[in-house]
Amino acid sequence: MAYSVNWITRVVTVPQSDLTPISADVFELDVLSFWAEIHDIQDGEGMPYDTIMASNAPVSLSGLTLARTVEVINGYRIEFEDGAYQVNLTGANNNILDARVQNQVSINANNSAGLQVVDAGAGGGHICAQDVEFSVGEPQLFASLSEYEVCVSLPDLVTIVMPEGIEVGLPEAIQIEACRC
Protein backbone atom coordinates (compact mmCIF):
# COMPACT_ATOMS: atom_id res chain seq x y z
CA MET A 1 0.00 0.00 0.00
CA ALA A 2 1.36 3.43 -0.89
CA TYR A 3 0.68 6.90 0.42
CA SER A 4 -2.74 8.15 -0.60
CA VAL A 5 -4.46 11.51 -0.58
CA ASN A 6 -8.14 12.21 -0.07
CA TRP A 7 -8.38 15.49 -1.97
CA ILE A 8 -11.82 16.36 -0.53
CA THR A 9 -10.95 15.93 3.19
CA ARG A 10 -7.29 16.93 2.62
CA VAL A 11 -5.97 13.88 4.48
CA VAL A 12 -2.74 12.13 3.44
CA THR A 13 -2.72 8.50 4.62
CA VAL A 14 0.56 6.86 5.62
CA PRO A 15 0.31 3.05 5.86
CA GLN A 16 2.44 1.36 8.51
CA SER A 17 3.90 -0.88 5.78
CA ASP A 18 5.51 2.21 4.17
CA LEU A 19 7.48 3.03 7.34
CA THR A 20 10.98 1.72 8.06
CA PRO A 21 10.90 -0.75 10.98
CA ILE A 22 13.38 0.00 13.77
CA SER A 23 12.06 -2.50 16.33
CA ALA A 24 8.80 -4.40 16.95
CA ASP A 25 6.75 -1.27 17.67
CA VAL A 26 9.03 1.57 16.54
CA PHE A 27 9.17 2.80 12.95
CA GLU A 28 10.86 5.66 11.10
CA LEU A 29 9.67 8.05 8.42
CA ASP A 30 12.33 9.92 6.46
CA VAL A 31 10.57 13.28 6.01
CA LEU A 32 12.55 14.22 2.88
CA SER A 33 11.66 10.95 1.13
CA PHE A 34 8.05 11.38 2.26
CA TRP A 35 8.00 14.92 0.85
CA ALA A 36 9.46 13.68 -2.47
CA GLU A 37 6.81 10.97 -2.82
CA ILE A 38 4.00 13.39 -1.91
CA HIS A 39 5.48 15.83 -4.43
CA ASP A 40 5.28 13.08 -7.10
CA ILE A 41 1.61 12.48 -6.25
CA GLN A 42 1.03 16.22 -6.42
CA ASP A 43 2.65 16.36 -9.89
CA GLY A 44 0.30 13.61 -11.12
CA GLU A 45 -3.25 13.24 -9.88
CA GLY A 46 -2.88 16.24 -7.56
CA MET A 47 -2.25 18.86 -10.24
CA PRO A 48 -5.63 20.63 -9.88
CA TYR A 49 -5.44 20.71 -6.07
CA ASP A 50 -3.65 22.91 -3.53
CA THR A 51 -0.05 22.06 -2.67
CA ILE A 52 0.25 19.59 0.22
CA MET A 53 3.80 20.21 1.49
CA ALA A 54 6.47 22.87 1.11
CA SER A 55 10.18 22.16 1.44
CA ASN A 56 12.54 24.96 2.38
CA ALA A 57 16.19 24.52 1.44
CA PRO A 58 18.95 24.81 4.03
CA VAL A 59 19.67 28.44 4.95
CA SER A 60 23.04 29.94 5.89
CA LEU A 61 22.89 32.47 8.71
CA SER A 62 25.97 33.99 10.35
CA GLY A 63 28.24 31.13 9.31
CA LEU A 64 25.79 28.34 10.24
CA THR A 65 23.78 26.34 7.75
CA LEU A 66 20.40 25.53 9.25
CA ALA A 67 18.78 22.30 8.07
CA ARG A 68 15.99 21.89 5.56
CA THR A 69 12.40 22.25 6.78
CA VAL A 70 9.34 20.49 5.42
CA GLU A 71 5.91 21.96 6.15
CA VAL A 72 2.42 20.54 5.67
CA ILE A 73 0.38 23.46 4.28
CA ASN A 74 -3.05 24.48 2.98
CA GLY A 75 -5.03 22.64 5.67
CA TYR A 76 -3.80 19.16 4.77
CA ARG A 77 -3.47 16.60 7.57
CA ILE A 78 -1.29 13.50 7.86
CA GLU A 79 -2.90 10.28 9.13
CA PHE A 80 -0.72 7.34 10.10
CA GLU A 81 -2.42 3.94 9.90
CA ASP A 82 -3.95 3.43 13.33
CA GLY A 83 -2.21 1.09 15.75
CA ALA A 84 -0.14 0.96 18.93
CA TYR A 85 3.29 1.93 17.58
CA GLN A 86 5.72 4.86 17.45
CA VAL A 87 6.99 6.80 14.44
CA ASN A 88 10.28 8.72 14.52
CA LEU A 89 10.35 11.57 12.00
CA THR A 90 13.89 12.09 10.67
CA GLY A 91 15.74 14.03 8.00
CA ALA A 92 14.31 17.53 8.39
CA ASN A 93 12.55 19.83 10.80
CA ASN A 94 8.83 19.60 10.08
CA ASN A 95 5.32 20.31 11.33
CA ILE A 96 3.88 16.82 10.80
CA LEU A 97 3.19 16.50 14.53
CA ASP A 98 0.98 19.62 14.33
CA ALA A 99 -0.76 18.47 11.14
CA ARG A 100 -1.44 14.85 12.08
CA VAL A 101 -4.78 13.16 12.56
CA GLN A 102 -4.90 12.08 16.22
CA ASN A 103 -5.03 8.30 16.80
CA GLN A 104 -3.08 5.66 18.78
CA VAL A 105 0.19 6.27 16.90
CA SER A 106 2.88 8.10 18.92
CA ILE A 107 4.89 10.58 16.83
CA ASN A 108 8.44 11.68 17.76
CA ALA A 109 9.15 14.84 15.76
CA ASN A 110 12.89 15.25 16.57
CA ASN A 111 12.71 18.94 15.60
CA SER A 112 15.45 21.20 16.88
CA ALA A 113 15.99 24.94 16.72
CA GLY A 114 19.67 24.05 16.35
CA LEU A 115 19.31 21.41 13.64
CA GLN A 116 22.17 22.28 11.33
CA VAL A 117 23.97 21.03 8.28
CA VAL A 118 27.55 20.97 9.56
CA ASP A 119 30.51 21.50 7.23
CA ALA A 120 33.92 21.46 8.95
CA GLY A 121 35.34 23.44 6.05
CA ALA A 122 33.02 26.32 6.92
CA GLY A 123 34.55 26.74 10.36
CA GLY A 124 32.17 24.46 12.25
CA GLY A 125 32.31 20.75 12.85
CA HIS A 126 33.39 20.33 16.47
CA ILE A 127 30.51 19.01 18.51
CA CYS A 128 31.01 18.13 22.13
CA ALA A 129 28.68 15.53 23.60
CA GLN A 130 28.80 12.59 25.94
CA ASP A 131 25.80 10.62 24.67
CA VAL A 132 25.78 10.24 20.90
CA GLU A 133 23.13 8.27 19.01
CA PHE A 134 23.37 7.85 15.24
CA SER A 135 20.97 6.58 12.62
CA VAL A 136 22.00 6.44 9.00
CA GLY A 137 19.54 6.86 6.15
CA GLU A 138 20.54 7.23 2.52
CA PRO A 139 21.79 9.84 1.73
CA GLN A 140 21.71 11.38 5.21
CA LEU A 141 23.30 10.86 8.58
CA PHE A 142 21.31 12.04 11.57
CA ALA A 143 23.08 12.39 14.89
CA SER A 144 21.10 12.99 18.03
CA LEU A 145 23.36 14.41 20.71
CA SER A 146 22.63 15.29 24.32
CA GLU A 147 22.23 18.99 23.48
CA TYR A 148 22.50 19.13 19.67
CA GLU A 149 21.07 17.45 16.60
CA VAL A 150 23.04 17.35 13.38
CA CYS A 151 21.70 16.45 9.96
CA VAL A 152 24.34 15.85 7.30
CA SER A 153 23.41 15.34 3.66
CA LEU A 154 26.77 14.34 2.21
CA PRO A 155 27.22 10.86 0.71
CA ASP A 156 30.97 10.19 1.16
CA LEU A 157 31.34 8.34 4.46
CA VAL A 158 34.45 7.71 6.49
CA THR A 159 34.74 5.80 9.75
CA ILE A 160 35.37 7.56 13.05
CA VAL A 161 36.08 5.58 16.21
CA MET A 162 34.60 7.22 19.30
CA PRO A 163 36.46 6.86 22.65
CA GLU A 164 33.99 4.15 23.71
CA GLY A 165 35.16 2.07 20.71
CA ILE A 166 31.99 2.62 18.69
CA GLU A 167 32.67 2.99 14.98
CA VAL A 168 30.55 5.61 13.27
CA GLY A 169 30.38 6.39 9.55
CA LEU A 170 30.56 10.12 8.93
CA PRO A 171 30.85 12.28 5.81
CA GLU A 172 34.36 13.55 5.20
CA ALA A 173 33.13 17.15 5.56
CA ILE A 174 32.28 16.69 9.25
CA GLN A 175 34.45 15.80 12.19
CA ILE A 176 32.71 14.99 15.46
CA GLU A 177 34.85 14.78 18.54
CA ALA A 178 33.49 13.18 21.70
CA CYS A 179 34.72 14.99 24.78
CA ARG A 180 33.70 15.91 28.30
CA CYS A 181 31.82 19.20 28.13
How far apart are alpha carbons 136 and 142 in whole angstroms?
A: 6
Is there a domain that residue 113 lies in? no
The residue-averaged pLDDT of 107-122 equals 65
Q: How confident is the model at residue 64 (pLDDT cuts 50, 70, 90)?
A: confident
Residues 130 and 79 occupy one common structural domain = no
Residues 123 and 104 occupy one common structural domain = no
Is there a domain that residue 34 lies in? yes
Residues 72 and 149 occupy one common structural domain = no
Range of the domain at 29: 4-61+68-108
How far apart are alpha carbons 74 and 95 in whole angstroms?
A: 13
Which pLDDT value is given to residue 156? Answer: 38
Residues 90 and 151 occupy one common structural domain = no
Q: What are residue 133's phi and psi, to 5 degrees?
A: -120, 130
Instruction: Name the percent of the chain lying above pLDDT 70.
Output: 61
Q: How confident is the model at residue 113 (pLDDT cuts 50, 70, 90)?
A: low
Over the chain, what is the mean pLDDT?
Answer: 73
Is there a domain that residue 179 lies in? no
Is the pLDDT at 180 greater than 50? The verdict is no
How far apart are alpha carbons 134 and 164 in whole angstroms?
A: 14
Residues 95 and 19 occupy one common structural domain = yes
pTM of the full structure = 0.62
- For 38-56, b where at least 16 C-beta lie within 10 A, e where not — what string? bbebbeeebeeeeebbebe
Is the pLDDT at 50 greater than 80? The verdict is yes
Instruction: Name the percent of the chain lying above pLDDT 90.
Output: 49
Helix (H, G, I), strand (E, B), or coil: what is residue 63? coil
